[in-house]
Each structure stands twice: as C-alpha cells, then as structure tokens.
Amino acid sequence: MLKKIISGGQTGADRAGLDVAIAKGIPHGGWIPKGRKTEDGVLPDKYNLSEMTSTSYPKRTEKNILDSDGTMIISHGKITGGSSLTKKLAEQHVKPWIHLNMNDLSIKEASTQLARWINNHNIQTLNVAGPRATKDPAIHTRTSEVLNGCIDLL
C-alpha cells in the first residue's frame, strides 16, 4: 500500500510526484541538493524535502533510491540523462524499478501497470523520477495523470 511519494524536487516528473502527493493528502518528501536547487531556482518551502550537504544531483538521486521501496521512471521514449543514472543506481542497489514509456502507453495502461507493480512489490514509499520540464515540457502533466490514475486504483 502506497504511503509516501518522494522525489528529488526537480521540475518535470519529480515535481509532479510531489504535487500529486500534496493534492491527494499523501505524505511526501525526498532529498534535494544543497541550496534546494532546481533548474527553475530554489524549490519552494511547501515541498517537504531534506537538503543534502552536497550540491550533487547524483548523490541526491542515490539517496532517494535508497530511501524508497521502488522507483518509477516515466518518459516519452527511451530512458536518457539523469533517468539513466536512476535506473543504473536502482539496479546496483537491487531496488525495484519500473519504466513507463508514455510513447507506448495510454494513461490508463500506465496507471494500471504502475498500480500492479506497486502491489506486487509492496511499494510503500515510491520514488518518482523522469526528465526535467525543459527536456520534456509535457512530462509534468503525464506524470500527474498516471499517478492520479494509479492512486485511484490502489
């Protein structure tokens, strides 16, 4: 049963995960680089993220993987950039992960796959990852739609 959603707070998929958690009344959190830095500036205080002692995005990514029961990586197309590192670190730490390629899935299909995966792996704390808004302007909306659909199924 899903009890918490975490992410690194970056624009795009990460922020969508936090926004859905807040809207649904689900506890949220995660780790963010020192200074609460994101590509659009300092992450607002309404997001309950813990600040790292380092400004390193990879260290933040790894900490969020370790603090979760599993990671959802969402994208339009193949996994690239920081999401590739997320996948690599999840595998390295033997943590469950799922990739939802929204070029191949409808919102309903992705929501159903995610809900099934959460149940099958007993995911209580979900780490949400994917591209930044500047890399994929539609990813915040898609991530929100998939998470909302998934939560309604759980």
Amino acid letter for position 51? E
Q: Distance between CA 149 and CA 133 in Å, rounded? A: 21
- Which pLDDT belongs to residue 37? 93
Query: Along the chain (154 residues), what's the average pLDDT of each consecutive run of 10 residues?
Result: 97 98 98 96 97 96 98 98 97 98 98 98 98 98 98 98
Q: Rounded CA gap, 59 and 51, in Å? A: 11
Q: Classify residue 125 as left (phi > 0), alpha (psi -120 to 50) or beta.
A: beta
CB atoms within 10 A of CB 85: 16
pTM of structure? 0.98
pLDDT at residue 1, as a whole number = 87
Q: Domain limits of the chain?
A: 4-153
Q: What helix, strand, coil percent values describe the chain, rounded to 5?
A: 40, 20, 40
Dist CA 10 CA 18 (whole Å): 10
Q: Which CATH number fits domain 4-153: 3.40.640.10, 3.40.50.450, 2.60.40.1120, 3.40.50.1820?
A: 3.40.50.450
